[in-house]
Amino acid sequence: MQPTPSTDATVHTLIIDTDPGADDVIALLFAMAAPERLRIEALTTVAGNVPLAKTSRNARLACEWAGRPEIPVYAGAERPLRRTPIYAANIHGKEGLTGVDVHEPAGPLADGHAVDYLVRTLRAAPEKSVTLAMLGPQTNLALALEQAPDIVRGLRELVLMAGAHFNGGNITPVAEFNVFADPHAAEAVLLKSGVPITMLPLDVTHKILTSDERVARLRGLGNRAGAIVADILDAYAPQEMKHYDMPGGPVHDATVTAYLLQPSLFKGRRIHVEVDSREGMGFGQTVADWYGSLHRTPNVNWIVDGDAQGFFDLLTEHIARLP
Ligand code: BDR
Ligand code: CA
């Protein structure tokens, strides 16, 4: 199935599946600041950076900080399909958020499981109408597809922060965290869903980096959201810069929001991608056939490059609209 190409003017009916996570919260604030382009139906949460109770609380906090308490948050999978759960508290802190204090948000969780919500909503949706942004391990969608394969009918496109090829991995030499945290789920989504997929792997997120000037502009906005984003980045970026010897820190998941709003900022290629889900050194690797050596049907629009200044301009412009 060929994707209906999204443009810089596309209005998305959107569900965001997420495991907040420092960069997830920035991606969520960014998306919630664009109601004219991104009609967010719900957030669904998954265990990933930290356990589910904390990712669900942090997603509700993001709604509160964005002044969007009406967006429902459904809690989903508490653990990956088959592998032992792993978390990334070493990067995101034990509360899943660096640089800011967390509290119990006023807004409650929505009733019901995220997987049931996905099944019910995608079944009822007009054909190819819902974009699903995925910012964490892909467990919820894999479970929904297993339960109700017919839900693909309602999906327009999946846009994932996931995977690594040219860059190498960030949790093993070859694996990126979201895929490594649940490779069996990633495999189900990539190989069985048949839905148009765009992936923003480390290949691009490690090219879109913070700088003192970029963070200062966010802080200088003078609103609460600008201070939150700047505080998160000031705490999150230095550890990444040190580990990878990079001049700035990545804002991985926020590239998904930027792609939805302005795909012309990014460059990629439709290629065939598979996931290695066998135990061993390659566990969780995305095997990306960039040169078409395998002559297999492309299943992913694999993004490798992006306009870093364009990304930070778009992010800053949107964060400025929030409380
Ligand atoms: C991804 O892993 C998580 O730690 C981040 O939130 C992002 O989704 C980057 O590899
Ligand atoms: Ca994430």
What are the extents of the domains in the chain? 12-319
Q: How far is the CA of 162 from the centre of ligand 2 (A)?
A: 9
Atom of ligand 1 nearest to the CA of 91: 4
Q: Is the peptide bond before 107 cis (omega within 30 degrees of 0)?
A: no
Q: Is 252 in the pocket of ligand 1 (CB under 6 A)?
A: yes
Indicate the top mutation candidate among 16, 177, 285 to test ligand 1's pocket, ranked by most ligand atoms within 8 A of CB.
177
Q: How far is the CA of 266 from the centre of ligand 2 (A)?
A: 20
Q: Is 21 in the pocket of ligand 1 (CB under 6 A)?
A: yes
Q: Compute the distance between CA of residue 105 and CA of residue 68 in angstroms, rounded to an integer.
A: 12
Indicate the top mutation candidate among 94, 207, 253 to test ligand 1's pocket, ranked by most ligand atoms within 8 A of CB.
253
In the prediction, which pLDDT does 291 show? Answer: 98
Q: Which residues of the chain have pLDDT under 50?
A: 1
In the prediction, which pLDDT does 5 show? Answer: 79
In the prediction, which pLDDT does 193 show? Answer: 83
pTM of the model: 0.97
In the prediction, which pLDDT does 2 show? Answer: 52
**In sequence order, what are the residues at sequence separation of 6 or more whose Cβ sits closer than 8 angstroms to the Cβ of residue 191?**
274, 275, 299
Which ligand lies nearest to the CA atom of residue 164 in the structure? Answer: 1
List residues with catalytic annotation.
252
Q: Is 23 in the pocket of ligand 1 (CB under 6 A)?
A: yes
Which ligand lies nearest to the CA atom of residue 244 in the structure? Answer: 1
Atom of ligand 1 nearest to the CA of 92: 4
12-319 belongs to CATH 3.90.245.10 = yes
Atom of ligand 1 nearest to the CA of 19: 6
Which ligand lies nearest to the CA atom of residue 179 in the structure? Answer: 1
Q: Is 178 in the pocket of ligand 1 (CB under 6 A)?
A: yes
Q: Compute the distance between CA of residue 252 and CA of residue 249 in angstroms, rounded to an integer.
A: 9
Q: How far is the CA of 96 from the centre of ligand 2 (A)?
A: 10
Going through the chain in order, the beta strands assigned E by DSSP cover 12-18, 38-45, 73-75, 130-134, 155-161, 197-200, 266-275, 286-289, 300-306
User: pLDDT, tens digit, for every residue of 166-220?
Assistant: 999 999 999 999 999 999 999 999 987 889 999 999 999 999 999 999 999 999 9
In the prediction, which pLDDT does 131 show? Answer: 98
Cα distances (Å, whole numbers) of residue 304 to 81, 164, 312: 29, 10, 17
Q: Is 176 in the pocket of ligand 1 (CB under 6 A)?
A: yes
Exposure string of 223-253, with b = 16+ CB inside 10 Å and e = fewer, is: eebbbbbbbbbbbbbeebbeebeeebbbbbb
In the prediction, which pLDDT does 4 show? Answer: 63
